[in-house]
Amino acid sequence: MNLSELTTESADPRFAGIDTMSVAELAETMNAADATVPGAVAAALPQITGAIEAAAELVRAGGRLVYVGAGTPGRLGVLDASECPPTFSTPPEQVFAVIAGGERAIVHPCEGAEDDAQAGATAIDAAGIGPLDTVVGIASSGRTPYVLGAVRRARERGALTVGLSCNPGTPLSAAAEHAIEVLVGPEVVSGSTRLKAGTAQKLVLNMFSTIVMVRLGKTYGNLMVDVKASNGKLRERAIGIVRTIAGVDREEAERVLDQHGFNVKQAVLGARLGLGPQEAAALLARSEGQLRVALGEPA
């Protein structure tokens, strides 16, 4: 691998003196560099949009959203996937991440694992990836062997494949059906792609999971109506959502939530339409999980 060809590995002369800067100067420098990332993401929005549209249709049909990465990109994939069950009540197998080196690599460096392309392919086989699934390979360089092996095998197995990188014209872009290249340029610390590149990847993954879930009816407006009320804060959020949508007081919101097992969508239907748990569940099923449709409102 010729690292000199990668913009993410380049040394930017503007940052050559960071070790002589004060804390305030260095913080200002890093903040200014980070401020360029949203613009780089904006430039890639057409690529991002096409990939998300295709993925949403597959997930709606019963497919899975799978992130694959090594090192920082792998950990970002794990982070995004792990937020979906509490936010959108997705089953763990619907959105998940595969990281080079396995679970140990989430908290312990396993950097050598990224060089094993066959391990990436094997992980795809082990997950039983198929035509309804979407596999998003994440690699700042766009050349990580583990990710390339995974994406190539996923495409062989008929899955929708997306390659997310931070360099132009990468092997990952060539391997994937949808190429997303967010060109953030050199890092403040040369080659430390946990910085701007990592921030860009997090922004794109935020869009990926959130927009797919919105398209599946996991929100009503901007309210997370599929929230899993697993702690005090989330229970309070659920109560507030029911009060807002159904126009009821706190006592009534708590009553219908208790009646419907703290299922927010069902509780809203209970409060607005007077439905019991079985009736509300059946109406939601007929409405494909879309609360707005179930309420008879224009989608």
Residues marked as catalytic: 83, 114
The single residue listed with the structure tokens 């607005």 is: 272
Token pair, residue 183, equals 């060109």
C-beta separation of 34 from 184 below 8 A: no
DSSP state, residue 176? S
Q: Which of 26, 39, 33, 31 minimizes the C-alpha distance to 8?
A: 33
The single residue listed with the structure tokens 């132009």 is: 168
Task: List for the chain the helix, strand, coil content (%; round to 5).
Answer: 55, 10, 35
Count of C-beta atoms within a 10 Å radius of residue 92: 10
Mention every residue, 6+ apart, whose C-beta is less than 8 A from residue 143.
1, 6, 170, 171, 172
The single residue listed with the structure tokens 């050598």 is: 112
The rounded distance, in Å, linking the Cα atoms of 48 and 269 is 35
Burial class (CB in 10 A: 0-12, 13-18, 19+), 29: middle
Packing angle of the helix pair 277-286, 264-273 (nearest 10 deg): 110
Taking phi over 0 as left and psi of -120 to 50 as alpha, with beta for the rest, 43 belongs to alpha
